[in-house]
Amino acid sequence: MLRKMASKEKTIILLKMNQRKKTIMLHKITSFEEIDSRRLMDLYQEGNLENAEYFYPEEALPAAIRKCEADFLQFLETKFFQREGSEYWILEAENTWVSALRLNRIADNFYYLEALETHPDYRKKGYAVCLLNGVTDDLKQRGPFRLCDSVRKTNTASVRTHQKCGFEIVSESAYDYLNSETDADSYGMQYHI
């Protein structure tokens, strides 16, 4: 069941996951002020830990993680949300942000998805599928579109999740539309109608 509710700050799409009888919310966020920083950083904790060890190897781990979180939030505020048509999609369940992605508008009816992540405690429960399907359902309501993503070849779970949601591998080397770079370690994946 899909039901849209408009609020002053954001659009919330309520979905019912029948197999678990849980109500989840899909948030479409279009400005930095709508972000709950702590909940978002909890969701991206695994990536921030990896980045802390890579970018700040000489720092004590807690300080390095705080720096990565600050860098991440600064990127969102000063770069991501400054691009026209940028949307952060967040799936909430049990009062926790469980899965998220960034959607970038590249051109009319052409979007690039990045940073798909599911909280470690909520993996293998269908939340990423629910999130991707919610985003593609919203895009379908806007009209014909093309949605691309770059997925690491070694991340078989993400590749399968994308395919389950209707994405196809269209290239053995992915193209990052934001940085104009090719990545031989990732597949170029696409969804279109």
pLDDT digits (tens, 9 = 90+) for 128-150: 999 999 999 999 999 999 999 99
Give the pLDDT confidence score for residue 147 in this predicted structure.
Answer: 98
Give the pLDDT confidence score for residue 3 in this predicted structure.
Answer: 40
- Tokens representing 75? 């990127």
Label the pairing between strands 174-176 and 22-29: unpaired
Average confidence (pLDDT) per 10 residues, the chain, 193 residues: 39 48 88 97 96 96 98 98 97 95 98 97 95 97 97 97 98 96 97 90
d(CA 107, CA 84): 10
> What per-residue string of b and e applies to 144-176 under the rule 16 or more CB within 10 Å gives b?
ebebbbbbeeeeeebbebbeebebeeeeeebbe
Q: Where in the chain is the domain with CATH 3.40.630.30?
A: 2-30+85-192
Q: 2-30+85-192: what fold?
A: Aminopeptidase (3.40.630)
Q: What one-letter code names the amino acid at 170?
A: V
% of the chain at pLDDT higher than 90? 85
C-beta of residue 115 within 8 angstroms of C-beta of residue 101: yes
